[in-house]
Amino acid sequence: MADHDPSSTLSPADAVDDEPERSLTDDVAALFEDGRTYVEAELAFQKSRAAFALDRGKAGALYGVLAFAVLHLALIALVVGAVIALSPVLTPWGATAVVVGVLVLVGVILAWRAKARFTGLASAFREDDK
């Protein structure tokens, strides 16, 4: 370990004297410029992020709509198949009535459950008058 010469160290007063003089106005201006640069960079980042999300979101929505359409067609085929399969046993009108009745019953049950969920959701956001 090398010897340390106390005369080579700077005092705090010497260190302050070596720094260039800056005013409070210069510091505020630099802070403002840094803040503006930060905001510009953040806006650019958020714009690119939103563009990416929009691109992916459009593709996802398209696939979702197509999936819904295909599943809807499959359910129509299932209903038609059920009517055709039950026709020899119940006659075509009887088979149609049974299939429609079952579908209406399932629809009413699903609508009732949806209403219950939405009522629960609405009550969570309702303000108490207490």
Note whether residue 49 is domain-resident: yes
Looking at residue 11, its pLDDT comes to: 59
Mean pLDDT of 107-130: 83
Residue 71 lies in a domain: yes
Q: How confident is the model at residue 14, as a pLDDT?
A: 56
Hey, what are 43's tokens? Answer: 């806006």
Q: What is the pLDDT of residue 119?
A: 87
List pLDDT tens digits, range 92-101.
999 999 999 9
Higher pLDDT, 80 or 3: 80
d(CA 21, CA 52): 46
pLDDT value at residue 37: 92
pLDDT per residue over 38-80, tens digit each? 999 999 999 998 888 888 888 889 999 999 999 999 999 999 9
Tell me if 36 is assigned to some domain.
Answer: yes
**SS3 readout for 72-129:** HHHHHHHHHHHHHHHHHHHHHHHHHHHHHHHHHHHHHHHHHHHHHHHHHHHHHHCCCC
pLDDT tens column, 4-32? 555 556 555 555 555 667 788 888 888 88
Residues 6+ apart with CB under 8 A from 125: none
4 within some domain: no
- Domain residues for the domain of 105 are 22-125
State the pTM of this model: 0.50
Domain total of the chain: 1
Is 130 inside any structural domain?
A: no
